[in-house]
Homo-oligomer: A and B are copies of this chain.
Amino acid sequence: MMPLPRTVIIGGGFGGLSCAKSLGGAATAVTLIDQRNYHLFQPLLYQAATALVGPSDIAWPIRSLVRRHRNIRTLLGTVIGIDRGERIVRLDDGNSIAFDFLVVATGARHAYFGHDEWEAFAPGLKNLDDATNIRRKILVAFERAEFESDPQKRAALLTFVIVGGGPTGVELAGMIAELTRRTLPGEFRAFDPQSSRVILVESNARILATFAEPLSAFATRSLAQMGVEILTGVAVTHVDAKGIARGDEPIEAATVLWAAGVQASPAAKWLDTLSDRAGRVVVGPDLSVADGIWVIGDTAAVQSNGKPVPGLAPAAKQQGQYVGHLIRRRLSGQTEAPQPFRYRHQGNLATVSRRAAIADFPHLRLKGRLAWWLWGIAHIFFLIGARNRIAVALNWLWAHATGGRGARLITRHDDKDA
């Protein structure tokens, strides 16, 4: 029996996982490699960072998601390079994996605009460890404030700066504002949590620039009503342990969170190929960079109908399925050139608070409570598995009814585990 062609997929996010699933049962031996053992539902990651849901509510072991496809094996490993000539993927443990077809779906990390030293003071949010770290940072600031006698230092502990006014920044700011206004009041003796400042900094003229202007204006008003201070039009010029500078204006803050930019993973370097300014690999209309090598999701700079495809979960999923389809064609011996990838935009959604959201669809704009319900139903629907749907719905219901947060734990305590 001839050995099956080998497909290697790097990355178990929305793109890599959908590609793997679309190859379930196909005549290829698939290896799905990720440096973490879980697939993450990133759209709700900000809720884990703000103690609303637990990490296990929004993540699933990758191998359990593909268990029924006997032709797919899952490998926990860290890729450090790709040899296009030898057609192997190199891992950091010295092993390498040979491929006939390769799909690179390694996503993106935060970008600090050339100031990597800021990362230590302003963590970003991409995986569960980031979320747990941010959760700890926020909760510890309140704990320290309770026993800080210097008013200026206490004020800095109670100031939360979020850099970046995209959906993640807006959602983080809204969540922290609710934490200070709704969850924590009554629990501290030395200060009123409602006196906390939550500051959202955006260098553009308005927040949520990818949404239509009226929706962005609605989000601005909603956040302001919740006590969030929105500072637009001036970029952050410095970040350190004391806080940030915005232009020339210093803002003292013990907690600075980064939601300002992303940088693609080093796939372009691995593949020794062209990348755009954000480090994304420039791919052909069929998402390939070479024969039998594709790059998808946030790692790729993709055009569709002459427009750049946004870095959203549905786009990554569509690309994964598209490449899965191309590989199946190859396996069945079809050689004619494939149709180029076409992105079907399903709309933009963002939550502002536990009651308000904005929805920007091709033919429909919604804001407020109805948009929130739409947002909630869509996200519950896209969660994998009944258990997680119930768990997340339960946490939302709980927070809605009582203001409480189920996951307010400071784990990995510095003195023990740092």
Contact = CB atoms under 8 A, between A and B. Distances in A.
Interface of A: 35-38, 54-57, 59, 61, 63-64, 67-68, 70, 73-78, 92, 95, 128-129, 132, 139-140, 143-144, 146-147, 186-190, 386-388, 390-391, 394-395, 398, 404, 406-413, 415-417
Contact of A54 (B56, B63, B68, B189): B56
Q: Interface majority SS on A: helix, strand, loop or mixed? A: mixed
Q: Which among A63, A404, A416 has the greatest number of chain B C-beta atoms within 10 A?
A: A63
B92 A415 contact: yes
Q: Which among A59, A64, A386, A387 has the greatest number of chain B C-beta atoms within 10 A?
A: A387
B406 A391 contact: yes
B410 A387 contact: no
A187 to B, nearest CB: 5
B387 A38 contact: no
Contact of A411 (B128, B146, B413): B128
Contact of A415 (B35, B188, B413): B35
Contacts of A189: 70, 73
Nearest to A64: B187
A82 to B, nearest CB: 18
Nearest to A408: B61
Nearest to A394: B390
- Top 10 A-B residue pairs of the complex, sorted by shortest distance between their CB atoms: A56-B407, A76-B143, A54-B56, A54-B54, A73-B189, A37-B410, A63-B187, A61-B408, A387-B398, A67-B187
Contacts of A386: 398
A146 B75 CA distance: 8
Contacts of A128: 409, 411
A129 B35 contact: no
Given A54-B56, A404-B64, A406-B388, A413 B188 contact: no
B129 A77 contact: no
A129 B387 contact: no
24 contacts: A35-B415, A36-B410, A38-B408, A55-B411, A56-B406, A56-B408, A56-B409, A57-B406, A59-B409, A61-B187, A61-B408, A63-B188, A64-B404, A74-B146, A76-B140, A78-B415, A129-B411, A129-B412, A129-B413, A132-B411, A132-B412, A386-B398, A387-B394, A391-B394
